[in-house]
Amino acid sequence: MTRGRVALAGLVIVAALALAAAIAPALPIGSPTEISKDLALRGPTVAEPFGMDDLGRSVLSRVVHAYRISLGVAVTAALLALVIGGPLGLIAGYAEGVADQIIMRPLDVLMAFPAILLAIALMSVFGTGALLVSVALAVVYTPIVARVVRAAVVATKVEVYVDGARALGATAPRLVLAHILPNAAAPVLVQASVLMAIGILVEAALSFLGVGVRPPTPSLGLMLADGRGFMLQAPWMVVFPGVAIMLAVLGFNMLADGLRDWLDPQQTGGR
């Protein structure tokens, strides 16, 4: 399979999951929150291929609805980080010197913690909830985005065509927006895809640990935490949510790999 096809396969997975999540309430999969005691812990059947959980709720319906949270959190976090980290990296890379130091050194401090630890520490202060998870993730991501954008700007601004534009009298905003910024688009796109993958993993981990999304919101991490108590009687309660997380993360990683090769043919292989 060529790299182009890997990217395409990743895109198909991501698009399919996003579509399913978007139209989840309209899908014929039942309610994610409807409790029916007599169906509790019933195994997979044709009608309910993922089985039922301890309260008799449809695991399939909960998984599909949980994608709304997973993808929603991942997208919100990545966008927030782009909006905050992008301009910071741009200014730091273009100005260099003192401005660069003032912007980047505090961001180094954020990057000096393992991502999951920083996210847990932030959530311990913020409290729980999907929006707060997005904000915590955005804080973790901002220095990453800033570094990627800064590196692209630093590498681009010494190019001859930038000098040329400057010699022709282009103003600083025009130089940055028309000549430098487009060159940051490729690495940022790859990074955004990687951040989506990490976002899905970290949201699930935080919810699993009890510092993420609040029950009864269907979240893949929460479902795993619930299922742990029933894993012998009802292994489907832990198998399917986990596979669901992996599928989404895999989709974004494949997309990132393919994009990386497509946008930067010189660099082969992964990270």
Partner 1 sequence: MTPWVYAARRLLLAVPLLFGMSLLVFGLMRLVPGDPAVVVLGYKATPEGIRALREAFHLDEPVLAQYLRWLGGVARGDFGLDFRQNEPIGRMILDRLPVTLELTLLATVAAALIGIPLGLLGGGRRGGVADRAALAIGLVGISIPDFWLGIMLILAVSLGTGLLPSGGFVPMSEGPLDNLLHLVLPALTLAVSRAAVLGRLTRAAVLDVVQRGFVQVARAKGLAERAVLFRHVLPNAAIPIVTVLGLQTGYMLGGAIVVEMIFTLPGVGRMTLDAVLERNYPVVQSTVLVIGAMFMLVNLATDVLYGVIDPRVRRR
Q: Which residues bind partner 1 (CB under 8 A)?
A: 1, 6, 105-106, 108-110, 112-118, 120-125, 197, 201, 204-205, 208-211, 224, 227-228, 231-232, 235, 238-239, 241-242, 245-246, 249-250, 253-254, 257, 267-271
Query: Shortest approach of partner 1 to residue 110 CB, angstroms?
Result: 7
Report the run of H or E that residue 256 belongs to, with start and end. Answer: helix 236-263
Nearer to partner 1, 94 or 208 (CB): 208
Nearer to partner 1, 30 or 44 (CB): 44
Nearer to partner 1, 181 or 206 (CB): 206
Helix axes 115-126, 181-209, angle to 10 degrees: 70
Nearer to partner 1, 134 or 253 (CB): 253
Nearest to 202 by CA among 77, 95, 20, 33: 77
Query: Shortest approach of partner 1 to residue 218 CB, angstroms?
Result: 16
Do residues 220 and 66 make contact, with C-beta atoms less than 8 angstroms apart? yes
Query: Shortest approach of partner 1 to residue 40 CB, angstroms?
Result: 20
Query: Shortest approach of partner 1 to residue 190 CB, angstroms?
Result: 14
Place of tokens 């993922």: 50
Alpha-carbon Rg of the chain, whole angstroms? Answer: 22
Q: Measure the CA–CA gap between 235 and 221, rounded to whole angstroms.
A: 15
Query: Shortest approach of partner 1 to residue 270 CB, angstroms?
Result: 3
Nearer to partner 1, 43 or 106 (CB): 106
Q: What angle do CA 61, 238, 207 make, to 5 degrees?
A: 80
Nearer to partner 1, 10 or 32 (CB): 10
Query: Shortest approach of partner 1 to residue 251 CB, angstroms?
Result: 8
Burial 184-216 (b: 16+ CB within 10 A, else e): beebbebbbbbbbbbbbbbbbbbbbeebbbeee
Place of tokens 């990057």: 111
Q: Measure the CA–CA gap between 50 and 261, rounded to whole angstroms.
A: 36
Nearest to 75 by CA among 152, 3, 6, 17: 17
Query: Shortest approach of partner 1 to residue 167 CB, angstroms?
Result: 29
Nearer to partner 1, 2 or 168 (CB): 2
Place of tokens 């989404």: 248
